[in-house]
């Protein structure tokens, strides 16, 4: 690996696939955020020494004011954006208390899994969405 690649910023992000009544929660990044106006799964950067599940629980309280239960992981996805790389660690989750309140995002929507790709997602999310759609299509048999 060259010095340049070693110095490239790589962020590790836990993200929540929050399910309720067969729908999944998506959140729109606000115009002031990095990757503005792209849809994403709520979550954020894992802090030093923090577990992925603990990160998710913290981020969901900070971003949306909800407490969640963290369930099974899906496959982590790594993506190169201009200027940085990200690895996303997705987990199936459900809300155990609180109402979704937008503290950082500009919009939130509950989507059916089959219609998720009608929105413009952050590029790194695409493999996660495809895996999730297969999982849920399989669950319906
Ligand atoms: N939470 C979340 N972040 C994602 C997703 N997909 C994706 O590429 N990301 C990227 O992962 C990073 C998450 O960082 P973050 O939300 O904690 O922080 P940020 O860059 O918005 O702001 P900050 O650096 O001021 O904390 C962002 O660069 C974001 O663009 C996703 O589905 N959920």
Q: Is residue 95 situated within a structural domain? A: yes
Residue 4 is predicted with a pLDDT of 57
| pLDDT mean across residues, the chain | 94
What is the predicted ipTM?
0.92
Domain annotation covers residue 101: yes
CATH code assigned at 102: 3.90.79.10
Q: What is the mean pLDDT of residues 80-100?
A: 97
> What's residue 141's pLDDT?
42
Q: How confident is the model at residue 114 (pLDDT cuts 50, 70, 90)?
A: very high
Q: Is residue 70 part of a domain?
A: yes
In angstroms, what is the span from residue 15 Cα to ligand 1's centroid?
A: 9
Nearest to 128 by CA among 9, 10, 51, 14: 14
Q: Say whether pLDDT at 139 is over 90.
A: no
What distance separates the 2 farthest-apart alpha carbons in the chain?
49
The Å distance, Cα 40 to ligand 1 centre, comes to: 8
Residue 5 clears pLDDT 80, i.e. is over it: no
pLDDT 10s digits, 42-86:
999 999 999 999 999 999 999 999 999 999 999 999 999 999 999
Ligand 1 nearest-atom number relative to CA 44: 17
Is 44 a pocket residue for ligand 1 (Cβ < 6 Å)?
yes
Please provide residue 104's backbone torsions phi and psi, each rounded to the nearest 5 degrees.
Answer: -130, -35
Domains held by the chain: number? 1
- 120 in any annotated domain: yes
Task: Please choose from 24, 34, 82, 125 the residue to mutate so as to test ligand 1's pocket, defined by most ligand atoms within 8 A of CB.
Answer: 34
**pTM of the full predicted structure?**
0.92
Over residues 5-30, mean pLDDT: 92
pLDDT of residue 36: 84
Q: What is the residue-wise DSSP string for 67-93?
A: EEEEEEE---EEEEETTEEEEEEEEEE
The domain of 37 spans 9-139
**Going by C-beta distance under 8 Å and a sequence separation of 6 or more, which residues neighbour residue 66?**
18, 60, 95, 97, 98, 99, 100, 101
Residue 2 domain-assigned?
A: no
Higher pLDDT, 135 or 139: 135
118 alpha-carbon distance from chain centroid = 17
- Residue 18 belongs to what H/E stretch? strand 9-20
Q: Identify whether 53 is part of a domain.
A: yes
> Per the domain annotation, does 124 fall within a domain?
yes
């Amino acid at each position: 690996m060259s010095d340049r690649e070693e110095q490239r910023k790589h962020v590790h992000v836990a993200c929540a696939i929050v399910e309720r009544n067969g729908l999944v929660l998506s959140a729109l990044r606000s115009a002031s955020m990095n990757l503005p106006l792209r849809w994403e799964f709520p979550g954020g950067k894992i802090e030093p020494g923090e577990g992925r599940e603990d990160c998710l629980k913290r981020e969901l309280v900070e971003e949306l004011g909800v407490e969640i239960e963290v369930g099974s992981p899906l496959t982590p996805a790594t993506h190169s954006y201009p200027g940085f790389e990200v690895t996303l660690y997705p987990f199936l989750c459900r809300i155990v208390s609180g109402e979704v309140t937008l503290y950082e995002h500009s919009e939130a929507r509950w989507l059916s899994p089959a219609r998720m790709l009608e929105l413009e997602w952050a590029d790194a999310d695409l493999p996660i969405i495809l895996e999730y759609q297969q999982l849920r299509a399989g669950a319906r048999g």
